[in-house]
Amino acid sequence: MTAAAPLSTPPAAAAEHGTDHVEIAPSILYFGTPVVLLCTENADGSANLAPISSAWALGQTVVIGLGRDGQTAENLARRPGLVINLPGPGLWPAVERLAPLTGRFPVPPRKAAGWRHEPDKFAAAGLTPVPSATVRPPRVAECPLQLEATAERVQPDVSGEFVIVEAAVRRVHADPGIVVAGTDHVDPARWSPLIYSFRHYFGLGPELGRSHRTQTPRAAGRAVAR
């Protein structure tokens, strides 16, 4: 019988190939994801706006991770309409102004230190609400991409600490400046999402290459970083 291959690389081989990693235990795993500003509807019909760092797309569905005690999770459990607003890097100060605010009153015990209740988050952040076409919560005018959606499934995660939302996108609004003219394609060279990496804000660097699955036309004369 042939011996099974070792599951780990011997230390000497690891050092030779530059893979002598160290084991760490980070308190968070925000390894670099786009920031979204999630707009939902409160019970009184007003809008709640919350910065979220756990969101990703699967086809026309966006999967979102939320704290279970927040106003956003409570709203989506009762009123499924939402807008997923994607800010560019220049909006990071507005995002950070929202970070210590909560729509919950009273402030939940987990947020008691350093958080405060704010009923008008648009004004607090210096952002502008504009009407949506298919859902009741408004869009954020300053965000280059705005996705109107409905929460089709809201359920707790395996830890019980968070809520996972599966939202079906109904309509997409894009700033013309980031769209390839005459198409439905976002130009990735002109669109840069705000990235949240280990609780710090970043934008994107130059394009490194194209996936074999891309369908986006390349603008004439655009170079790829080497």
Render pLDDT for 27-38 as a digit per residue (tens, 0 to 9).
878 888 999 999
Containing domain of residue 120, as a range?
A: 29-202
Average pLDDT for 172-200: 94
Q: What confidence score (pLDDT) does residue 219 get?
A: 63
* The total number of structural domains that make up the chain: 1
Q: What confidence score (pLDDT) does residue 8 get?
A: 54
- Would 224 be classed as within a structural domain? no
Q: What confidence score (pLDDT) does residue 208 get?
A: 64
- Would 120 be classed as within a structural domain? yes
Q: What confidence score (pLDDT) does residue 104 get?
A: 87
- Would 1 be classed as within a structural domain? no
Q: Do the beta carbons of residue 179 and residue 186 sit within 8 Å?
A: yes
- Would 161 be classed as within a structural domain? yes
- Would 185 be classed as within a structural domain? yes
- Would 49 be classed as within a structural domain? yes
Question: In this predicted structure, which of 116-120, 169-173, 212-216 has the lowest mean pLDDT?
Answer: 212-216
More confident residue, 13 or 81: 81
Residue 188 sits in a domain whose CATH number is 2.30.110.10
- Would 48 be classed as within a structural domain? yes
Among candidates 225, 167, 186, 164, which has minimal Cα distance to 88?
186
Task: Output helix, strand, coil percentages for the chain, rounded to the nearest 5.
Answer: 15, 35, 50
- Residue 65 confidence (pLDDT) above 50: yes
CA distances from 77 to 40, 95, 103, 118, 218 (A): 11, 24, 15, 21, 42
Percent of the chain with pLDDT over 70: 85
- Residue 88 confidence (pLDDT) above 80: yes
Residue type, 134: T
Q: What confidence score (pLDDT) does residue 226 get?
A: 44
Structure tokens at 42: 């409160």
Average pLDDT for 47-70: 95
- Would 10 be classed as within a structural domain? no
Average pLDDT for 140-169: 97
Q: Which pTM does this prediction carry?
A: 0.85
